[in-house]
Amino acid sequence: MIARFCSFFCLLSLLNCNQFPKPGLPSDVAYSDEPHPRNVILMIGDGMGLTQVSAGMFRNGNKLNLEEFPVIGLHKPYSGSDLITDSAAGATAFASGVKTYNGAIGVNMDTLPVKTILEEAEERGLATGMVTTSSIVHATPAAFIAHEPSRELYEAIALDFMKTEIDFFIGGGMKYFAHRKTDQRNLYVDLQKKGYTVNDYTRKGLSEINLNESKNFAYFTAEDEPLAAAKGRDYLLLASHLAVDFLHTHGGSKGFFLMIEGAQIDWGGHDNNSDYIVSEMIDFDRAIGEILKFAREDGETLVIVTADHETGGFAINPGSTMDSLIAGFTTKDHTASLIPVFAFGPGSERFNGIYENTAIYTKLRQALGFEREMER
């Protein structure tokens, strides 16, 4: 009797939920039968619009690992201050679910800190990590861990890394930790004191590293910004492989949250250089292939690939062939067009459709079951 009573009301609330979804907060009920992923990997191709994807695909023999994703959506990338977002506001939207002003790192329109999904994951005992082909304090990774009014505050952002127990990170920008100008601190040493294994490109190649999975891990790939892939940078695939290897062990049954960024697709766009865009796009796609391999074997990992915005107003113009693209650009800056979202694994269905960039945050939390815990 009680059971029947309950199921009646459960059914009623289910109907209610579907009839009156909260605006901007799509109901979790529609996906209640869907298995929850244990792990989430969010891959951000900075500046990766559809033309960047297309160019990379054509120049890679008309093939990308991205084609393996069964679910595809589109997000609206505008920020709280501008129709055309920058990477700081774009990453803050993914990390914290708020539209904020361009330049903001993990803060809202009033410059107040907003908790990030990486911080939430850390609090809940998941392992956390970040890998990027820019410096680790650059806008995109910064917005997942730091809370600063401006993306330019690189040394303050580095200091914010000391306030979160992030388990694993690989990227450039060693100088913001080890050779600081605003204070005399050496955060490289401070990380070691905090129990991290810290290493860098001057001491050991990433391929020579033997991971000690019982300790947190940090590795610097460059003093400042890493090289372009075309000029010899070759660590993204390996770093992505090491990250999932490490975090899978480290996170155990609780799972992990990992953000991987292909940062320099954007820089090719700013340079209006299609070869730069293509080589970075292909580099990023190789890392995507490595992550998909892991996710397929694991079966409990949700993989999302998206971008913060498009860069360059990039077009493939008439007269092009697959091997020889005639590029057009409308700007040296970002543009406002809708951005593709590719999803794979348990929880991927909710990434169908067209939604705000902030919905990526909401959907990731729902997929991980964070939302449900909050409502309890």
Our CB check for Mg ion shows the closer of 263 and 291 to be 263
- Dig out the tokens for 322 from the structure: 């697959």
Residue 46 makes contact with Mg ion by CB under 5 A: yes
Residue 261 makes contact with Zn ion by CB under 5 A: no
Q: Which helix (H) or strand (E) holds 135?
A: strand 127-135
Task: Tell me the site size for Mg ion, rule CB under 5 A.
Answer: 4
Instruction: Tell me the C-alpha distance between 46 and 374, whole Å.
Output: 31
b (16+ CB within 10 A) / e for 243-278: bbebbbebbeeebbbbbbbbbbbbbbbbbbbbebbb
Residue selected from 155, 160, 266, 290 as contacting Zn ion according to rule CB under 5 A: 266
**DSSP label at 67?**
G
Report the 10 Å Cβ neighbour count for 225. 18
Residue selected from 43, 66, 263, 341 as contacting Mg ion according to rule CB under 5 A: 263
Residues between 138 and 197 that touch Mg ion (CB under 5 A): 140
CB of 46 to Mg ion, least distance (A): 4
Our CB check for Mg ion shows the closer of 28 and 46 to be 46
CB of 85 to Mg ion, least distance (A): 12
The answer to whether residues 162 and 147 touch, using CB atoms and an 8 Å cutoff, is no
Applying CB under 5 A, the span of 121-129, 223-231, 259-267, 319-327 interacting with Zn ion comes to: 259-267
Residue nearest to Mg ion (CB): 140
- Dig out the tokens for 157 from the structure: 């952002």
CB of 261 to Mg ion, least distance (A): 6
Edge to edge, what strands does the sheet with 168-172 contain?
197-200, 217-220, 168-172, 127-135, 256-262, 39-45, 301-306, 339-344, 71-76, 353-356
Residues between 342 and 361 that touch Mg ion (CB under 5 A): none
Binding marks (x or -) toward Mg ion, 76..115, rule CB under 5 A? -----------x----------------------------
- Indicate which residue of 13, 27, 32, 87 is catalytic: 87
Binder of residue 140, out of Zn ion, Mg ion, none (CB less than 5 to 8 A by kind): Mg ion
- Dig out the tokens for 160 from the structure: 């914010």
**87 catalytic per annotation:** yes
Residues between 182 and 221 that touch Zn ion (CB under 5 A): none
* 190: exposed, middle or buried (Cβ count in 10 Å: 0-12, 13-18, 19+): middle
Residue 308 makes contact with Zn ion by CB under 5 A: no
Task: Write out the residues near Mg ion by the rule CB under 5 A.
Answer: 46, 87, 140, 263
